Amino acid sequence: MVPLPKGVWGGTTPAVLAILALLPVAVPSATLATEILIFAMAALACNLLLGYGGLLSFGQGLFFGVGSYLAALAMIHLEVGLVAALAIAVAAGAAVATAVGWLAIRRTGIYFVMLTLALAQMGYFLAYTLSKWTGGDNGLLDVPRPPLALFGVELASLDGAYAYYAFVAVLFLAVYVGARRVIDSPFGSTLVAIRENEARAAAVGFDTRHFKMLAFTLSGAVTALAGALYAMLINYVPLDNVAIAMSEHIVIMTIIGGTGSLLGSLLGAGTLVLVGEVLSAIWPRWPLLLGVGLILLVMFLRRGLWGGVESLIARYRRRGEAAE
Amino acid sequence: MSAYILETRDLALAYGGFRAVDGVSLRVKAGTIHSVIGPNGAGKTSLFHCLTGGRKPTEGDIVFDGRDVTRRPAHARVGIGMARSFQVTSLFQNLSVRENLRLASQGRDGDRALAFWRPVSAGRAHLERADRIMERLNLSARANAAAGDLSHGQQRVLEVGMALCGEPKLLLLDEPTSGMGIDDIPVMTKLIADLGRDHTVMLIEHNMGIVMSISDTVTVMSRGKVLVEGRPDAVRADERVRAAYLGEAG
């Protein structure tokens, strides 16, 4: 028998690999599949804060928007390539998230949430005001999608929907594996400890502020990467990217999928993007149904869709054992 | 280095006009078990908060191991060798016993746990320390049980064990027997006496009977001040101590 791979390549990672391979044929278009992965990335980053750190941040849209704008502006005005644009987005997202975290973690509970909300709102109005750069209400148009190139050598054109999907899928896998490593690290375990009991975590010697801030930095970096990839996907940065609604969207995906489970984030993002795609064609007021769905989920499936899948598997296993 | 590992000088903590701790000067000798007792409202818990960094004293200073720690935040006291337990059990309820102790061991190294690129299993020293302490606490059989599923007595023992994981020079215990059943109390007193052999222990207790058998020194507080300090038998015989405790009963 072939031994199962252990660590970050074992467990749920093979399942993710299978999903990445099947997704573009399972959903109506490669573009839609790409969109799912981009939002799954953002949900994954949100999950690190919410599911593992217990930090409900409404700043996620701000980090997403920062990634979108900075990657787009760097490509348009500085004419940088793909890798550099993504690197700029990641660095900027990390920096902004660190700043937001630095301020917000001075308070806990509802005041913490309000601070992330207030900072995100400031970011939105800043983007709205700087219309010379961001296009304001009209959005930032003509965002290019440069070919994948390293050190001036062009490796692949990403113009085709499938080529771009493949590129995003590789990045998603890297983020997923990276996130699993982070969660299974001393840092990740400490983050869970802080979520469980902050007073005790401090009493055993952790400066809890440092851990929360690093969680923000990592989350912001990944969210901004997702934002940048999204701008390249739709060749456009709508002002909505940096709006509170974007934060909500990301938080809802995370909760629907299941907090504290990385695969859940992929599930949550996939569900929301697909349901949105299908329902919006039928009824423009579909978010109303989304609200109903969210209420049902919070009432009856507290651990999200992935939690539901897990209990189904457990029940199936128990039945299997009983039959033996 | 002096023989005293912990000294407070004229320590005071005032809440508005009320002085909960009112000019307390204490000296804890290294390698001893030193108990602070007193009736309700004597200021024991407020004193404990100052010693552990939960509250900043309004006057006076605290010197630990030759260092002024008066304004040092709680988390930063662990690295220099102070560790505490809580009066109301404060564990990571949903995590396993082993994980609780592993995290507490990891806490000793503070910010080094920010390493997000390293697997937890690389921190072997922390795992080994957790297992060693679990053995000492007699909790190895429950290693994988959630801390919240332990009996109350076992949770109290784990509570003390968490402080032990910091490999402290000084162990600060806040009413370790609080809420324990009459059957469990001897287990705890035995554990503390045992810990006293290789740690300096400072114990805050409400119940006088418990500390007398295990302490080297007893300080009795009343109304924010030190009333009497001395060996247990001397303290027990002291008229003022009887009066203070009787005053509470009456």
Per residue in A140-191, pLDDT (tens digit) is: 999 999 999 988 888 999 999 999 999 999 999 999 999 999 999 999 999 9
Tell me the pLDDT tens digit for each residue of B60-97.
999 999 999 999 999 999 999 999 999 999 999 999 99
Residue A2 forms part of a structural domain: no
Provide the residue range defining the domain that includes A28: 7-323
Which positions in chain A touch B130 (Cβ < 8 Å)? none
Cα four-point dihedral sign B133, B135, B139, B145: positive
Q: How many CB atoms lie within 10 A of CB A184?
A: 18
What pLDDT is recorded for position A273? Answer: 94
SS (H, E, C) B103-145: HHHHHCCHHHHHCCCCCHHHCHHHHHHHHHHHHHCCCHHHCCC
B1-81+169-250: CATH topology: Rossmann fold (3.40.50)
| Distance, CA of A273 to CA of A277 (rounded, Å) | 6
Cβ contact, residue pair A185, B76, below 8 Å: no
**Residue B4 contacts A, CB cutoff 8 Å:** no
A positions 189-228 inside 8 Å of B (CB): 189-190, 192-193, 196-197, 199-208, 210-211, 214, 218
Residues in chain B: 250
Kindly list the domain boundaries of chain B, sorted by start residue: 1-81+169-250, 87-167
Percent of chain B with pLDDT over 70: 97
The two tokens of residue B117 are 């690129």
Chain A closest CA to B73's CA: distance in Å? 9
Alpha helices (H) in A149-303, listed in sequence order: 161-183, 186-196, 198-203, 208-234, 244-257, 262-282, 287-300
Chain A nearest-CA distance from B85, in A, is 8
CA nearest to B64, candidates B221, B171, B210: B171
Contacts of A11 in chain B (CB under 8 A): none
Yes or no: say if A83 and A294 are a contact pair by the CB < 8 Å rule: no
**Left, alpha or beta for B54 (phi > 0: left; psi -120 to 50: alpha)?**
alpha
How many C-alpha atoms does B133 have within 13 Å on its Cβ side? Answer: 27
Reported ipTM: the value is 0.92
Average pLDDT (A251-275) is 93
**pLDDT, mean of residues A232-246:** 94
- Rounded CA separation B157/B192 (Å): 10
Report pLDDT for B247: 62
What does DSSP say about strands A153-156 and A148-150: parallel, antiparallel, or unpaired? Answer: antiparallel
**Contact, B47 vs B24, CB < 8 A?**
yes
* Beta pairing, strands B67-68 & B59-64: antiparallel
Q: Report the number of distinct structural domains present in chain A.
A: 1
Minimal CA–CA distance to B65: which of B2, B3, B5, B9? B5
**Inter-residue contact A307 to A264 (CB < 8 Å):** yes
CATH number, domain with residue A199: 1.10.3470
Asked if B36 and B204 touch (Cβ cutoff 8 Å), the reply is yes
- Name which of A275, A272, A279, A268 is nearest A301 in CA terms: A268
Strand duo B200-205 + B170-174: pairing: parallel
Could you give the percent of chain A with pLDDT greater than 90? 77
Domain for residue A1, yes or no? no
